Amino acid sequence: MAKPRIIIVDDERDMRDFLEIMLRKEGYEALSFPTPVEALGFCKENRCDLVLTDLKMPGMTGLEFLKAVKELDSSTLVIMITAYASVDTAVEAMKAGAFDYFTKPFNIDEIKLNIRKALRLRNLENENKLLKDDIKTRFGFVNMVGMSTAMSEVYQLIVSIAKSKTNVFITGESGTGKEVAARAICYESDRKDEPFVAINCGAIPENLLESELFGHQKGAFTGAVSNKEGLVEQADGGTLFLDELTEMPLHLQVKLLRFIQERKFRRVGGTTDISVDIRLIAASNRNLEAEVKAGRFREDLFYRLNVIRVDMPSLRERKEDIPLLIRHFLDKYNKEIGKSISGVSDAAMASLMDYNYQGNVRELENIVERAVALEPSGVITIESLPAHVRAAAKAELQTSTYPTPRSELGSANLKLGDGFDLEKTVEEFERATILEAVKEAGGSKKRAAELLGMSFRSLRYKLSKYGIEGE
C-alpha cells in the first residue's frame, strides 16, 4: 500500500524543511513547495492525500489555495498553519473545507495526532465509498444480466416504478432472480441509501414469523427475555421485501393486511401502535390467482399487494441470455476462486444452451461455479460440467429425429487412431446434419428445428456457431 502523500506549502524555507523531516520520520511521503501555484500544478497531475499550507503567501493566499485544491479533488484534506490567527479567518477556512487550523508556534504532538486523525477519516470515507459501490454492484441494476426481449421489458418496468411508493409483487419460478429484481427496484429509488430488509416467509417457523416481522415485548411468550425490534421496524425509511409471501399463514395475513392499510403495527405482547414509512415489495413462485381461488391466500391482501406486478421470465424463455450470464458468472467466480478461465468450449456451450434449467439462473450459476472450481485448463470444457447436464444434452441428441446426412461422416469412414479428434468429428457431423435439416425444411429454420427435435433458439445458436445462417 502506498504511503500517504502530504504536501507542504510555505514560503519560509526553515518551516518547509522542518515539516518535511518530521513527516518522513512519521512514515509519510512528504513534498514541499514555496508557493501555492507550484503546489497546485503538482496536485493537478498527482495524488495528494493531505496538504499543510500557510495562510499568508505571495501570489495566492492560503484560503484561495484551499478552495482551488478542493475544486481539484474534494477528498483532499487540508490543514491550515499560520502566524496570523484570527477567529474570522479560522471560521472562513473551516467553511471552505479545511480539516483543521493551527497557529504558529504549534504543538508538534498535537499536529501529528491531527494528521493521523485526518488520514484515518479519509481511509474510512474511501472504504465507505467502496462498500457502497460494492453494494450497488452486487444488488443494483448492474447485477441483472440479459439483453433478451423478456428482460428488456423487466428493466423498463423497474425504471418506471422505482421512484414510486406503490406496492410491488414479483412473480416467477424459483431461481429467476426475484430478490435481485427487488433490490434493483430499491437501489434505483429514492430509498437506495436506506435499509433493504428481506425475509423469506417460508423459511421461518409459523410460530416465530410474527415475532420476526413485528418484534415482541419482554415476557410476551416463553423465551422473550427482552424487547425485540422486528424487521418491519428495521426497514423504517427503506424497503421491506417479503419473499415467498404465499407461504405466510392466513391468520398472519390478516395482520399484514392491517399493517399495509394503516402503516402501523404492534409488537407481539405490545399495547401501543408503532408507525413506519416503508416501501413494500413481495414475491412468490406460486400462481397467485390459484392460491386465492384455493383459499390459501386472502383476496383482499392480494389486491393490496398486486398493484404493480413484475413477472420474472424463466431461463427457458430467454435462452439467448445464457452466454451473457455465463460470462457474468465466469468473471465473478474467477475473482472468488482465483482462476483465470477465459471462456467456454463450443461443446460445453452447446450443452449449456440445450439444457433445460428447472432451477433457472440460480442453477446456471451453480453449474458455472462448479465448472470454474474443477476446470484445470483455461477454458470450460464439457468434462467440467455436471453429469446431468451432459446426460441431458446427450439424451436430446439421441431422441431427436435427424435426417441422415449425406456426407462422408458415416461410421464406416471413421478412422480411429493417432490424430483422431472426437470433438471436431462430432461438430462436423452436427453441422452436416443441421444443413440437411434446413435443406429438407425448404429453408425454414423453425421447421428445421422441429425436424431436429430441438428448440428454435438452440438451432439459431448452432447456425451462428457454424456460420451457416445464410446458407
Residue 410 pLDDT: 43
Q: Which residue has the higher pLDDT, 206 or 341?
A: 341
CA distance 238 to 186: 8
Dist CA 83 CA 100 (whole Å): 15
- As a whole number of angstroms, the distance between CA 84 and CA 101 comes to 11
Within 8 A by CB and 6+ apart from 70, the residues are 76, 78, 96, 97
Q: Where would I find the H helices in 263-419?
A: 288-293, 299-305, 322-337, 346-354, 360-374, 387-399
Specify which residues 168 forms β-bridges with.
281, 308
* 149-313 and 5-134 share a CATH fold: yes
Residue 236 — pLDDT band, cuts 50, 70, 90? very high
Q: Does domain 318-399 have CATH number 3.30.479.30?
A: no
Task: Please determine, for residue 192, whether its predicted confidence score (pLDDT) is greater than 70.
Answer: yes
- The residues, any chain, with a CB within 8 Å of residue 378's CB and separated by 6 or more, are 340, 341, 342
User: What per-residue confidence (pLDDT) applies to 401?
Assistant: 39
Q: What is the CATH number of domain 149-313?
A: 3.40.50.300
Helix or strand or coil: residue 161? Answer: helix
What pLDDT is stored for residue 415 in this prediction?
54
Kindly indicate the confidence band of residue 187, based on its pLDDT and cuts at 50, 70 and 90.
confident
Closest to 281 in 3D by CA, of 254, 258, 260:
260
Number of H helices, E strands in the chain: 19, 14
pLDDT of residue 329: 93
Q: What is the pLDDT of residue 317?
A: 92
pLDDT of residue 143: 65
In this predicted structure, what is the pLDDT of residue 177? Answer: 92
Does the domain at 404-471 match CATH 3.40.640.10? Answer given as: no
What does the domain layout of the chain look like in residue ranges?
A: 5-134, 149-313, 318-399, 404-471
pTM: 0.58
Q: Pull the grid cell for residue 377.
A: 485448463
We find that the CATH architecture of domain 5-134 is 3-Layer(aba) Sandwich (3.40)
Please tell me the distance from the alpha carbon of residue 279 to that of residue 169, in angstroms, as a whole number: 12
Comparing 2 with 267, the larger pLDDT belongs to 267
Q: Is the pLDDT of residue 380 over 50?
A: yes
Q: Residue 140: pLDDT band by 50, 70, 90 thresholds?
A: low
pLDDT over 70 for what percent of the chain? 87
3-class SS of residue 269: coil
- Higher pLDDT residue, 418 or 350? 350
* pLDDT above 60: residue 297: yes
* pLDDT confidence band for 471 (50 / 70 / 90): very low
pLDDT value at 55 more than 60: yes
Average pLDDT, the chain: 84
Comparing 41-50, 356-365, 402-411, the range with the smallest average pLDDT is 402-411
Per-residue pLDDT at 406 exceeds 60: no
Give the pLDDT of residue 213: 93
Q: What is the pLDDT of residue 396?
A: 52
State yes or no: pLDDT of 351 exceeds 80: yes
DSSP state of 35: S
Q: What pLDDT does 442 receive?
A: 76
48 Cβ contact list (under 8 Å, min separation 6) = 5, 7, 42, 69, 73, 76
Among residues 204, 260, 206, 251, the alpha carbon closest in space to that of 232 is found at: 260
Report residue 450 CA to chain centroid gap: 39
